[in-house]
Amino acid sequence: MSIDEIIYRMLSARIFKNREKLRPDYVPEYLPHREAEINKLAEILAPAVRGVRPSNVFIYGLPGTGKTAVTKYVLRKIETYARNYSQDVKLKVAYINCRNENTSYRVLFNLCNYLNERVPFTGLSTAELFRRFIGALDKEKNLLFVVLDEVDFLVKVSGDDVLYKLTRINPDLHNAKVSIIGITNDLKFVEYLDPRVKSTLGEEELVFRPYTTEELADILADRAKQAFYEGVLDEAVIPLCATLAAREHGDARRALDLLRVAGEIAEREGSPKVLEDHARKAYREIEKDRAVEVIRSMPIHTKLITIAAYLVRRRKSEATTGEIYETYRSLCKKLMIDELTQRRVSDIINELDMLGIVNAKVVSKGRYGRTKIVNLAISEKALVEGLKNDLRLSTLILADSI
DNA sequence: CTTCCACAGGAACCAGCGGACC
DNA sequence: GGTCCGCTGGTTCCTGTGGAAG
């Protein structure tokens, strides 16, 4: 295919009307199947319209269950109302994603920025930064919403110190008020929170259930209308994307990603329509990317065990713990690395199972013992790709090709 | 019915490390 | 600047077990 052809295809493709509508951070005008959550959150936050400080809220839910979207949506509404109905109190919203801003300093730095308080992005102590933040905030009759998305990252990296201070800030303020909204998809998160923070932060709690397959289909249909040209989507695509995304739990982000990537593949292939096959390819592509990422970040022994499982599977129909362990040991010897015990390897195989890199299930072979049979759950391509930047390891795969 | 394989997986313990605390 | 503490990832030792073979 020549470059002219590629560009021509791109230009003539009539697939996406507006791709942005499928991006994970896009907040739509209408959020299907989250009415209950929207209402509940609105009820909690509504006092803000009259300038009264709402309770702090803590929102839980698995990834892709609409936590961020609902929060942004409700706050946007409340902001518009507040602008029209409450002149004396200024309502502000500071949205911070703690995955990126995961230190006390960066959170406070961002908060200062929201208040247009100029502070150096390094150099001050957090205590000083906090003082300046309070100063800037308290100058006016502000009502500030601090949205801490993925707040578990902040706590994991920097502890709950800022959180503690933020939740206790109100008595120190004369004019302003602060209300905190914490969002997390780590359901065990509260366990490692200081109980004092827990009680103030969790004045109100909201739990978001995963979407069902049907609900995902509705969401996709709604977005697809805005994102694709009419008639471009084959009717089987949306149900398929919904089903694929619902395999683990109803994750709307995944579902939307699938739909978007399916569209992109169709576009690349120069197809006038997005077909079922494109969705399947999209699924494979996304899975592969995820697997590659996981493999890349694995410690050396875990990588070796994955390779061992792959090698055993290549010469036999099924791999057992014992065989994998033997192969793993010979790999270790080749690389002159100390080997782990079988006990640990058994655990690592379980970890790999959890990560979706292998499928392991325990079976009893009667007289011939009880073991796990292990299958690789990822493609050879993904494995090679994941090991690409470690030359020693990737040659192992090729070297042993008997 | 018993035996016995080839591990599973629990319990206790240990080394190393970062962070709090004096 | 030592020390204490909790956590992670590892080891050692151990008991438990499903079911084909005998």
Range 156-215, chain A: CB under 7 Å to any strand B atom: 159
Last residue of a domain, one of A251, A279, A295: A295
Same domain (yes/no): A318, A394: yes
Same domain (yes/no): A54, A196: yes
**Stated length of chain A:** 402
Return the CATH number at A391.
Answer: 1.10.10.10
Q: Does residue A1 sit within a domain?
A: no
Last residue of a domain, one of A295, A321, A354: A295
Protein-to-nucleotide distance from the CA of A324 to the C1' of B8, whole angstroms: 15
Q: Does residue A7 sit within a domain?
A: no
Banded pLDDT at A402 (limits 50, 70, 90): very low
User: Structurally, how many domains does chain A consist of?
Assistant: 3
Protein-to-nucleotide distance from the CA of A59 to the C1' of B19, whole angstroms: 29
Could you tell me which residue, A101 or A357, shows the higher pLDDT?
A357
Nucleotides of C under 7 A from a protein CB: 10-14, 16-22
Return the CATH number at A69.
Answer: 3.40.50.300
Q: Is A391 (CB) below 7 Å from strand B?
A: no
Range of the domain at A259: 211-295
Q: pTM here? A: 0.77
Banded pLDDT at A190 (limits 50, 70, 90): low
Q: Does residue A14 sit within a domain?
A: no
Same domain (yes/no): A369, A253: no
Confidence check: pLDDT of A397 > 60: yes
Return the CATH number at A286.
Answer: 1.10.8.60
How does pLDDT run across A244-297, given as a tens digit for each residue? Answer: 999 878 899 999 999 999 999 998 888 889 999 999 999 999 989 999 988 988
Could you tell me which residue, A399 or A314, shows the higher pLDDT?
A314
What pLDDT is stored for residue A340 in this prediction? Answer: 94
Same domain (yes/no): A225, A200: no
User: How large is the average pLDDT for residues A227-233?
Assistant: 90
Banded pLDDT at A192 (limits 50, 70, 90): low
Last residue of a domain, one of A180, A208, A236: A208
Same domain (yes/no): A200, A103: yes
How does pLDDT run across A156-167, given as a tens digit for each residue? Answer: 767 677 888 888
Residues at the strand C interface (CB under 7 A)? A 299, 301, 338-341, 343-344, 347-348, 364-367, 369-370
Scan for tokens 């995944």, then name that residue.
A254
Q: Does residue A290 sit within a domain?
A: yes
Cβ neighbour number for residue A235 with a 10 Å cutoff: 7
Same domain (yes/no): A137, A42: yes
Nucleotides of B under 7 A from a protein CB: 3-11, 20
How does pLDDT run across A300-335, given as a tens digit for each residue? Answer: 999 999 999 999 999 888 899 999 999 999 999 999
